[in-house]
């Protein structure tokens, strides 16, 4: 674990040329090591940057405070999303990284969504696994074609399809290139999440490379 930046985090430099940079954001009760295996499966050889959420709920790390299940402390969401965007900028300077693609699960997906809406420059795109709309009213963000994949579980009692669809609409309205897929799963991740995220990322990063040479 590296601690010298503003978040405790893990950093794994890329093992291959032109591999993407992923920002891994864990769920409630997780930590900076949790999603490293997922990142390696979604993008073998990618650069991985994985911070630990600073908020503790009964000792469980999270990325922002909530008042109850699914009821968020919005002032804290805004503050913590800005704090995370500042950390991303700090880590990019320290490690010489491009803007990362976030891979967030549950609470990590929700904070990634808040960063996209509040500080769009911080991320190149995002894979949001079981996300919900983190803010009651979407701020006027400009996401200019940023690729965002949202994966819902049709049996998920926490991040319901309706709440994820509201977030997808907000991102789409801000100009992001949004794909929202429903998988036969609950709140937990499934093999289908990994396979879908992997395919989507390969296509999103090859389109980005084509745009760079065009």
Active site residues: 106, 156, 187
Q: What is the contact mask toward ligand MLT in residues 35 to 54, using x (rule: CB under 6 A)? A: --------------------
Under the criterion CB under 6 A, does residue 80 sit at the interface with ligand MLT? Answer: no
Nearest approach, Cβ of 15 to ligand MLT (angstroms)? 31
Among 78, 158, 165, 194, binds ligand MLT (CB under 6 A): 158
Spatial contact of 204 and 147, defined as CB atoms under 8 Å apart: yes
Interface pattern 93-112 for ligand MLT (x via CB under 6 A): -------------xx--x--
Under rule CB under 6 A, residue 69 binds ligand MLT: yes
Give the integer Cα–Cα distance in Å for 203 and 19: 13
Q: Which is nearer to ligand MLT, 69 or 210 (CB)?
A: 69
CA–CA dist 163, 182 (Å, integer): 13
- The string of DSSP codes covering 48-83 is EEEEPP-EEETTEEESS-EEETTEE-HHHHHHHHHH
Instruction: Assess 164 for contact with ligand MLT (CB under 6 A).
Output: no
With contact defined as beta carbons under 8 Å apart, do 115 and 83 qualify? no
Cα-Cα-Cα-Cα torsion 2, 56, 88, 117, nearest 10 degrees, comes to 170
The residues binding ligand MLT (CB under 6 A) are: 27-28, 66, 69-70, 106-107, 110, 158
């Amino acid at each position: 674990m590296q601690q010298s930046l503003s978040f405790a985090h893990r950093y794994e430099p890329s093992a291959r040329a032109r591999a993407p940079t992923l920002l891994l954001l864990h769920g409630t009760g997780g930590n900076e090591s949790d999603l490293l295996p997922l990142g390696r499966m979604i993008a073998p050889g990618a650069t991985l940057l994985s911070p630990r959420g600073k908020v503790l709920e009964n000792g469980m790390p999270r990325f922002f405070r909530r008042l109850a299940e699914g009821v968020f402390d919005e002032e804290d969401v805004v503050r913590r999303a800005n704090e995370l965007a500042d950390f991303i900028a700090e880590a990019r300077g320290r490690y010489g990284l491009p803007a990362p693609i976030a891979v967030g699960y549950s609470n990590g997906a929700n904070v990634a969504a808040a960063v996209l809406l509040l500080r769009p420059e911080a991320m190149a795109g995002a894979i949001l696994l079981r996300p919900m709309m983190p803010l009651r009213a979407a701020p006027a963000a400009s996401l200019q074609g940023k690729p965002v994949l949202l994966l819902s579980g049709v049996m998920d009692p926490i991040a319901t399809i309706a709440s994820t669809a509201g977030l997808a609409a907000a991102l789409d309205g801000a100009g992001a290139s949004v794909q929202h897929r429903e998988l036969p799963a609950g709140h937990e991740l499934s093999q289908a999440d990994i396979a879908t995220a992997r395919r989507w990322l390969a296509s999103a990063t090859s389109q980005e490379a084509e745009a760079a040479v065009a």
